[in-house]
Amino acid sequence: MNSLDFLTYIRPELLTLLAIDLAIAIILLSAMRLVSGFWARVNTTTELSEKDNFAFGISMAGSIFAMGIVLTGAITGESANSYLYEAVGVLSYGLVGLLLIKVGRFIHDKVSLNHINKVEEIRNENVSVAIVDAAAVVATAIIIRSVLLWVEGINVYTFIAILSGFAVSQAVLVVVTRLRESNYAKHNQDASFQEALKGGQIALAIRHAGHMVATALAVKAASYFLLYQPTQIIVNLLGWLIISIAMAIIIFILNKIARRIILFGIDTTVEVDQQHNVGVAAAEFAIVVSIALIMTSLMA
């Protein structure tokens, strides 16, 4: 395509839609910084530039990235019926996404990691807790995005479907966290997974982050098997739950096989849990997320 053809393709209406989308996106991304500071009860400028609090920076980065992920599911672009429809749609879905990200973080704080005061740990510059916190909001955002792309239109049924998918996603993420806790205790003389995170085990946090993101991708894959039925709330809920669990189990099994082949000769439990080997943990993160991405692509 030569430059003239390209300029012909870029119509004024499309440029206006892009401007609307980008303006709303920047506003919502900026709002995430304010919300992150409010959640942690700190001044973001002070934490980032004066105290050099890496943990808070990682946590806030996770929130901003999560908002960006949600917005990719909210933006309709050229397919929008009008400028007003586009603006209302993006802003509505964006605000709902922002709210659900914060609700998901609250659930993760109070249920998944119920023995950790994440706000206090992040204020005290605990990087391992910040990594898990960032992964949790990114995982939540991946699922919210998949639901936004799954539903159709803007009405009460749309938001019920979004809330239903969100509820299922949080339940699955909590279950996965409990299973990871049980697995950690089994291989470490009943040691506490949450206490290890409080102790600053970054390698453990990185591996757990990988499993949360992979779980989110498993839940995303469930949308490919379900037909959106606005009035069938129970069917939607059960469908998301059953298929999400099935996909999560498949990814877990495939990850276990792939990890033993790719990391042959390496005792990952000893390296990550006991020797805090960040390199091995990063490799585990890459393997489980790669398996989940491949499975998601195949299902699509």
pLDDT in tens, 78-118: 555 667 777 777 787 788 888 888 888 888 888 888 889 88
Measuring CA to CA, which residue among 101, 180, 185 is closest to residue 135?
101
The residue with tokens 């206090």 is 120
> What are 19-65's pLDDT values in tens digits?
777 888 888 888 888 888 887 778 888 888 888 899 999 999 998 99
The predicted structure's pLDDT at residue 227? 74
Taking residues 116-123, what's their average pLDDT?
90
Whether residue 79 lies inside any domain: the answer is yes
With a CB cutoff of 8 Å and minimum separation 6, the contacts of 4 are none
* Structural domain range at position 145: 10-299
Q: What percent of the chain has a predicted confidence (pLDDT) above 70? A: 89
Q: What is the mean pLDDT of the chain?
A: 83
Q: Which of 289, 239, 283, 243 is nearest to 264 (CA)?
A: 283
Res 17: pLDDT: 74
Model's pTM, two decimal places? 0.86
How many separate domains does the chain show?
Answer: 1
Instruction: Give per-residue pLDDT as tens, 277-291.
Output: 999 999 999 999 999
Q: Has residue 183 been placed in a domain?
A: yes
Overall average pLDDT of the 133-162 stretch = 81
Asked whether residue 121 is assigned to any structural domain, the reply reads: yes
Is 4 within a domain? no
Please enumerate in sequence order all residues whose Cβ is within 8 A of that of 51, keeping only pairs 6 or more positions apart, or say none: none
Q: How many CB atoms lie within 10 A of CB 255?
A: 21
Structural domain includes residue 5: no
Cα 52 from Cα 285, distance rounded (Å): 26
- Among 8, 5, 138, CA closest to 68: 138
* In-domain check, residue 1: no
